[in-house]
Amino acid sequence: MPKVDYESNGVEREYEATTYTLVIYEQEFGRDLIKDVFGRIDVTQALRNIDADGNVIAMDYTVDNWSSYPRAFWAMLKTSEAICKRDNRPCLAVPPFVQWCLETRSIDMGQLSQLVFDECQRGLFRSGAADSE
């Protein structure tokens, strides 16, 4: 399982995206993780925000569902906790979401959004997933 020190406090935590993560997310938030994290990408708008040299000239932070990233990451932490318990390995407990938010200090949302996106790609959309063990 990947690990990250998301609070920059010297404590690395395991996280993982599996189909169980989808269940946790839906049960806790009544929403679909895939819709919330990936949403809809409007490529025509993206093309308008690039200059002739290919440089990004504008970024619209309103098109992302920013609150989905901490929710998805928390569900990944809970998935990792469940897997650790299943495997009888020691692990840090993950508190309920609101408590986790209150206990978590500053987070780099840019880093968190990339981490969530990458882990969803790895755990939920990798090629050959049905054939893997």
pLDDT in tens, 77-104: 999 999 999 999 998 899 999 999 999 8
In a domain, 55, yes or no: yes
Cβ–Cβ under 8 Å, residues 109 and 69: yes
| Count of structural domains within the chain | 1
pLDDT for res 44: 57
pLDDT for res 29: 97
Contacts of 72 (CB under 8 A, 6+ apart): 17, 21, 25, 33, 36, 37, 116, 120
pLDDT for res 71: 97
In a domain, 2, yes or no: no
Statement: residue 73 has pLDDT above 90? yes
Cβ–Cβ under 8 Å, residues 60 and 48: no
pLDDT for res 8: 78
pLDDT for res 52: 75
In a domain, 102, yes or no: yes
pTM to 2 decimals? 0.79
Domain of 63? 11-126
In a domain, 74, yes or no: yes
pLDDT in tens, 14-31: 999 999 999 999 999 999
In a domain, 4, yes or no: no
Statement: residue 37 has pLDDT above 70? yes
